[in-house]
Amino acid sequence: MAEPHHDSIREQTRQQLLSSFGGWSGTIVAAIPPIVFVAVNAGRGLRAGIIAAVAAGVIVAIYRLIRRQPVQQAVMGLFSVVVAAAIAGRTGQARGFFLLGIAAAVVYAVVFAISMLMRRPLVGVFWEYLEPSPLAQGTRWHQVRILRRAYDLASGAALLMFAARGAVQLRLFQDNRTGWLAATKLIMGFPLYIVVVAFGFWIVRRARAQLEPIDDEPADGPDSEDPAGTASMRDGSVRSGRTDAAPDGRLGLGQGDE
- For 217-226, the pLDDT digits (tens) are 444 444 444 4
Q: How confident is the model at residue 12 (pLDDT cuts 50, 70, 90)?
A: low
Total structural domains within the chain: 1
220 phi and psi angles, rounded to 5 deg: -125, 10
> Pick from 28, 192, 194, 201: which is nearest to 105 by CA?
192
16-20 long-range Cβ contacts below 8 angstroms, 24+ apart: 16/70, 16/72, 17/130, 17/253, 18/253, 18/254, 18/256, 18/257, 19/69, 19/70, 19/73, 19/256, 20/70, 20/73, 20/258
- Taking residues 103-122, report their average pLDDT: 96
In the predicted model, is pLDDT for residue 86 greater than 70? yes
In a domain, 227, yes or no: yes
Domain that holds residue 167: 2-240
- Taking residues 172-192, report their average pLDDT: 88
Task: Find residue 240's DSSP bridge partners.
Answer: 213
Side chain identity, residue 130? L
In a domain, 254, yes or no: no
In angstroms, the Cα distances linking 153 to 64, 200, 213, 229 are: 34, 8, 24, 27
Pick the more confident residue, 39 or 3.
39
In tens, the pLDDT along 27-58 reads 667 778 888 998 999 888 999 999 999 999 99
Task: Find residue 212's DSSP bridge partners.
Answer: 239
In a domain, 247, yes or no: no
- pLDDT score, position 17: 57
- pLDDT score, position 82: 93
In a domain, 109, yes or no: yes
Q: Which pTM was predicted?
A: 0.70
Pick the more confident residue, 210 or 16.
210
In a domain, 250, yes or no: no
In contact, 175 and 163? CB cutoff 8 Å: no
In angstroms, the Cα distances linking 152 to 63, 100, 110, 189, 248 are: 38, 27, 14, 22, 19
CA distance 195 to 208: 20
In tens, the pLDDT along 191-207 reads 888 899 899 999 999 99
Element (H, E) at 212: strand 212-213
Q: Which of 13-27, 88-102, 231-245 has the lowest mean pLDDT?
A: 231-245
> Pick from 136, 144, 135, 133: which is nearest to 229 by CA?
136
The whole-chain average pLDDT of the chain stands at: 78
The CA-based angle 141-17-4, given to 5 degrees, is 65
- Taking residues 77-100, report their average pLDDT: 92
